[in-house]
Amino acid sequence: MSGAGRRYLCFKFLIRFHPTGAVFALAQVGDDVRALVTRWPKGFFLQPSGRTARSAAHRHASQAFDSSLWPCMDKIGGRVSRAGLRMNTWLTQYFRCPERYIRVASKGPLSAKSGYFQFGNETTCYGSYYGRQVAESATGELHDAFCDVEIRNGTMYLPFDPSQVVDNLLRERYVDEWRSGTFLSALAKGYYRLRPVLSAGIRRLVQKLYLTGWDKLPFPRWPVDCSVDNLLGQLLLLSLGSNCVKRIPFIWFWPEGASSCAIMTHDVETEPGRDFCPTLMDIDDSYGIKASFEIIPEQRYGVSRDFLGSIRERGFEVVVHDLNHDGHLYRNREQFLERAAKINSYGKEYGAEGFRAAVLYRKQLWYDALSFSYDMSVPNVAHLDPQRGGCCTVMPYFLGEILELPVTTAQDYTLFNILNDYSIGLWRRQIDLIMEKHGLISFIVHPDYIVRPRERAIYERLLGFLTRLRVEKGVWITTPSGVNRWWRQRAEMRLVENGEAWRIEGPGKERARIAYASEKEGRLVFSLPGMAEQESFLPT
């Protein structure tokens, strides 16, 4: 067959028509994209050369078709494979940057078995790998995947699939099935049966026994793990180089250019805790902070309409907290589904958009049975919680339809009763680490545990510190549903090229800001026009 004949066949394969009137045609020479003809509703463009054609194809296709052109890029044998385009999903979702800047492909077939490796010093990854066996445990020295990255023709070739790694961390797939077959799992089961009749002293003793060695666990990193944030940041940094551009635009994480975001949540565990809620609202209000109250619908205390109304009328939020807080929500699928149906109907009755399970128990695979807009049951690092693991990010993320707002700081119970720490030192350390990533600072403080003056004073010190951050560092303090609304809007917004500049489109764009990622001395830095340069995103 002649060269011209081959070219004709390729054209035939790749023409795409769209209801808007746009037409795409891609041609191939050898194994690469060599030409793009676009008839746009507003005009006609001819892009004759390989690299320009490819980037124009990415831009136009992402704008017009929402990636529906990508499968044909795969067929053409272009450098960016269909799998590669899935590999960039978390990255473009996280930064809300134009897809055309993120070109990721796999170096080759990945191992069936997953393991641990690192991507730079501060980032632990868990997933399949190309060309070598990776570690079964996160302990000890890990192979650094950074050395295996290749950049060719504007594409990053990685020895792993970043979307798979991010998914594994966010969904805690690296954790063995919880409570299965170990002495500790038997202990946990027995403990939860006996817990109601055990004294506080014995409960603490059992908890300490269970937690022995927590401070030696290398992963997730205590007191905050930012593996997901670091991995995605490193890939954006590499994308600057692979695209030969000085900066990549993206939609800033928070509205009005806020540097980070903070939320306060109150899980109401007992009747005395419920009765303390009006006082707690007074305390929060005196610092100008609105919080959410997580209410247990059954067995713990009476939940009257007046009580729920008193929370909402003051601008605070109601969230459903488990069903009866007995520690058995996820015990088996059948029981879970029964309970989820009840929990969902309480959600409707309470007008609650959010859910949190008891004791941060979670089984993220089952979340599709929960009819809530957001969940707050996944800790960032769970060394001091009964269910180990952690999602390794400080940003909200979607689990199907549900938005997860991770718990990114230590709970008050942990601080006072396990660490015996009556200061805000640990919280401040965690806040610093989260703010380096411009993340979500989220707290669980129980009304039940701050009734006494000593604990209440610590809590007020924290509120005082947060209000200083609001004034001095531009931290946005809002409620969980405030974050939920914003994050959903941001996820629907997109950046559109406007001549030399960019503009944001989509509902809520008035509050959104365009930011630029660039490289400074080997690190990723962010800037927002009209505002001071943000601190470096990646650790040195």
Cα torsion at 185, 320, 296, 390 (round to 10°)?
A: 20
- Is there a contact between 255 and 235 (Cβ–Cβ < 8 Å)? no
Task: Point out which span in 107-115, 178-186, 211-219, 262-270 binds Zn ion (CB under 5 A).
Answer: 262-270
CB of 321 to Zn ion, least distance (A): 6
Residues 86-115, mask of contacts with Zn ion (x by CB under 5 A): ------------------------------
Residue number of the CB closest to Zn ion reads: 267
Judged by CB under 5 A, does residue 148 bind Zn ion?
no
Residues 363-392, mask of contacts with Zn ion (x by CB under 5 A): ------------------------------
CB of 465 to Zn ion, least distance (A): 24
Judged by CB under 5 A, does residue 267 bind Zn ion?
yes
CB of 412 to Zn ion, least distance (A): 12
CB of 359 to Zn ion, least distance (A): 6
- Is there a contact between 471 and 227 (Cβ–Cβ < 8 Å)? no
Distances (CA, A) of 235 to 80, 140, 346: 16, 24, 42
CB of 267 to Zn ion, least distance (A): 4
Q: What is the 3-state secondary structure (H, E, C) of 388-399?
A: CCCCCCCCCEEE
> Which one, 226 or 358, has the nearer CB to Zn ion?
358
> Which one, 73 or 358, has the nearer CB to Zn ion?
358
Task: Point out which span in 145-153, 228-236, 350-358, 458-466 binds Zn ion (CB under 5 A).
Answer: 350-358
Count Cβ atoms within 10 A of the Cβ of residue 185 and give its class: 0-12 exposed, 13-18 middle, 19 or more buried: middle
Judged by CB under 5 A, does residue 225 bind Zn ion?
no
CB of 319 to Zn ion, least distance (A): 11
> Which one, 81 or 324, has the nearer CB to Zn ion?
324
- Is there a contact between 48 and 27 (Cβ–Cβ < 8 Å)? no
Task: Point out which span in 66-74, 102-110, 244-252, 266-274 binds Zn ion (CB under 5 A).
Answer: 266-274
Structure tokens at 167: 């998914």
DSSP secondary structure of 285-346? HHTT---EEEE--SSSS---HHHHHHHHHTT-EEEEE-SS-SS-TTS-HHHHHHHHHHHHHH
> Which one, 231 or 295, has the nearer CB to Zn ion?
295
CB of 338 to Zn ion, least distance (A): 20
Structure tokens at 481: 């549903």
Total binding residues toward Zn ion, as defined by CB under 5 A: 2
CB of 177 to Zn ion, least distance (A): 23
- Is there a contact between 68 and 75 (Cβ–Cβ < 8 Å)? no
Strands laid side by side in the 150-152 sheet: 104-106, 155-158, 150-152
CB of 200 to Zn ion, least distance (A): 16
Distances (CA, A) of 113 to 101, 104, 133, 138, 450: 30, 21, 9, 15, 47
> Which one, 148 or 267, has the nearer CB to Zn ion?
267
DSSP secondary structure of 63-121? HHHTTTTHHHHHHTT-SS-HHHHHHTHHHHHHH---GGG--EEESSPPPSS-EEEESST
Structure tokens at 77: 């044998």
CB of 411 to Zn ion, least distance (A): 9
Structure tokens at 268: 């109401």
CA–CA dist 494, 502 (Å, integer)? 10
Task: Point out which span in 66-74, 265-273, 367-375, 380-388 binds Zn ion (CB under 5 A).
Answer: 265-273
> Which one, 51 or 331, has the nearer CB to Zn ion?
331
Binding site for Zn ion (CB under 5 A): 267, 358
